[in-house]
Amino acid sequence: MEPPPPVPLKKTGPARVGPYALMSVLGSGGMGRVHLGQDTTGGSGLAAVKVIRPEYAEDPQFRKRFEREVGALDRVQGAHIVCLLGSGCDEDLVWVATEYIPGPTLAELVDARGPMDAQAAWRLLADMGRAVEAIWRAGIVHRDLKPSNVILASDGARVIDFGVVQATDGTSITATGQNVGTPAFMSPEQVRGQGGDRCLRHLRAGLRHRVRRHGAGAVR
């Protein structure tokens, strides 16, 4: 299955971010918009460049949290994690670039084709187990691990979008008291604002498996 076609750049948006010339829009979310970018300094390959929304980028406290988040992402190393390529806090732009992985998300695949067969589900489960282990070894918790944040590449799955993370020592990278995550994939502890730990990862893994086998309606 091919990824959805990219969306043309908006006339009001930036055409260049850091060393990247923006080519199209890959997607958008609560924190910002993700673009397909080409490195203009001689770098190889394409990048997924996330530009943070102005209402967040203009907040000095958010910029501090953002810098801490990028530092956390730089520690994550694994075959099933997208590689961090760079980031910046320019005068009016806050951005982060990761390697571009062509392929649909898990959510898009299930919506288009229905539940995965057993062989594909077991392979995905193994990939996600390795990804979660790599994140844990880096000392952080991905608090929004859901089907739309998993890219299915030709050589395996990749976890993307670390916009909501927390250090496993309890240090919050998002704002104190902020209820973060996607409700359908949050544990009761996370909804109550009790943070993320091992039990949260286990619960989300179970929810993701249920979606793979039964579709998104299974968790509603």
Q: Three-state SS for 131?
A: helix
Q: Pull the structure tokens for residue 126.
A: 């193994």
Give the CA distances from residue 214 to residues 13, 78, 90, 153, 202, in Å, rounded to whole numbers and listed in that order: 39, 28, 44, 22, 18
Could you say which of 74, 90, 111, 144 is catalytic? 144
- Per the annotation, the verdict on 144 as an active-site residue is yes
Environment class of 143 (CB within 10 Å of its CB; exposed 0-12, middle 13-18, buried 19+): buried
Whole-angstrom CA distances from 82 to 7, 151, 156 are: 22, 9, 12
Q: Fill in the amino acid letter for 162.
A: F
144 vs 180: CA distance, rounded Å: 8
Helices within 104-219 (DSSP H only) = 106-113, 118-137, 188-191, 198-214
Which positions are catalytic? 144
